[in-house]
Amino acid sequence: MADLEHKIPITPNSVFDVASVSKQFTGLAIAILESENKLNLEDPIKKHVAGLPDVFAPVRLRHLLHHTSGVRDWPGLFILEGRRFDDVISFHDILKLTRRQKDLSFSPGEMYTYSNTGYNLLARSVETITGNTFSSWVQQNILTPLEMHDSHVRDDLGKLIRHRVRSYQGNKQGPFQNVGNQLMALGSSSLYSTVHDLLKWVHHFDHPEITQPAVIEKSMQPGSLKQGASTGYAYGLGVGEYHGTKRISHSGGWAGFRTYLLYFPEFKLGVVVLSNWSGMNTSSIAYKTARLVLGNQLTPVQDSNSGKTSAHTFEYSEVSHEGWEKWSGPYTEADQTEPSVWLFNRNSQPWISLPDGTGVELTFNAPNTFFHPEKKLKVTCTAGINDWPRALTIQSPGWTGSAKEGISSDFNRSELDDYTGVYYSPELLTHYRLEVSGENLKAIHQRRDPVTLKRFAKDRFTSQVWYWSKVNFDRGLTGKVTGLRITQGRNHNIGLIKQSITQELR
């Protein structure tokens, strides 16, 4: 149903927010301008976006394109500063926040970490290079020429959209609830489209009408890290293999919308799945559809060690949000003192952050198993007596191992008083008050529920709330606590400064 309250059914012409599937349109915009010599991927982003702080000096367009920039991901920052995802979030809001960023999460080119903000900066670059708004340029140069007449980039909350569907959350049997959507994140999201229009988009991969075939081919080539490893991410497109054949894909999720675009160049097969329910596993439907169409043309991948079919060939089944949410939290590798693996909830979907900093969206298909089929990643969960300690066994191309949760109790209760007080972030323009609560700390914000922080080592705390995943306290020369740094799945070391009594009174 497109609208449950008015009993309007979904049709192939229903208009959905396709969320992060939007990024490939931004990627093609960059590829076209690159082919016209209007930009170079080695251009510093500061050349095209005014007002960025000096920490952005080493960031190049290619870093943003392939998610290797170290630029913080705005959703985690907005939640931390006290916003809600159903607030009005404009393109201008995102750019203002980005211009206040104090540090990069890592040196550009060192890591792959998905950043929506990077694609917002690319969209702003398109505007400064072309002298046109991003939404107008995309409409004139991509959507209209491809006859995607029911598609547009949303940059006006008041604009009427014919055949627009509403989005919902809730259990499979209900009750369902409306999910507000007031996002205008140009470049990273906020493309509205239909399944018919998106199949025209997929068709142009093989029959390009708006640019040269070489530009399309380049837009499907993944970037690489400094050490040479592939990021598996091209111009807004995920690139990999599935059952021995090249696979191009991208997922999307915002509000109650879940989207997936899948394309197999060898077979010229494209699958587009759009949903307006947050519990829908659109990737599962896409791959099932591809298997139905291609049948035995997809050859199972063999495990070189065992000769058995690779573990990433999975069947999917429905598991409730509560079924997987209980596994959320920090996990520590053997012989390590602090967590290096996190399972967390983002937009009602499970995610994992691995020791190398990679963040991956997961599917949960059994009471104790997560996986990501394209990335060949599988996570098995176990728990001891009374469900503690929880442990993970992880199999992936980049990292294989195990991690266990563990909270240290080897400290005096009075030590918690060192951490109490008010902490302010000049980057987020907000503050938190930390108070002692039993054996833990609570981080209190005027617009959010209190967050419980559990200590696992001196000056180190963790939380089951994803936007406070890991907390490190800093001390000055006198040994007094001077501030703290928060690490989320995609953002590292967001600094808050402890305020003196005089500062608090001000």
Q: What is the domain partition of the chain in residue ranges?
A: 16-248, 321-404, 413-505
> Of the candidates 475, 472, 474, 450, which has an alpha carbon nearest to the alpha carbon of residue 462?
472
Q: Which CATH architecture has domain 16-248?
A: 3-Layer(aba) Sandwich (3.40)
pLDDT at 328: 80
- Helix/strand/coil percent split, the chain, to 5: 25, 30, 45
Q: What is the spatial distance between Cα 24 and Cα 133, in angstroms, rounded to a whole number?
A: 18
Q: Give 62-89 pLDDT, tens digit per residue.
A: 999 999 999 999 999 999 999 999 999 9
Residue ranges of the chain with per-residue pLDDT less than 70: 299-323, 347-348, 365-367, 373-375, 385-388, 407-411, 501-506
Count of CB atoms situated within 10 Å of the CB of 410: 8
CATH code reported for the domain at 413-505: 2.40.128.50
> What are the backbone angles phi and psi of residue 415, rounded to the nearest 5°?
-65, -25
**359 in Cβ contact with 368 (< 8 Å):** no
Count of CB atoms situated within 10 Å of the CB of 430: 18
pLDDT at 167: 97
DSSP state, 42? Answer: T
Q: 332-367: string of b/e by CB count within 10 Å (b at 16+)? A: bbeeeeebbbbbbebbebbbbbbbebbbbbbbbbbe
pLDDT at 115: 96
pLDDT at 366: 65
pLDDT at 407: 65
Sheet holding 269-275, edge to edge: 238-242, 245-254, 257-264, 269-275
pLDDT at 348: 63
pLDDT at 165: 97
- Rounded to 5°, angle at Cα 86 from 82 and 88: 80
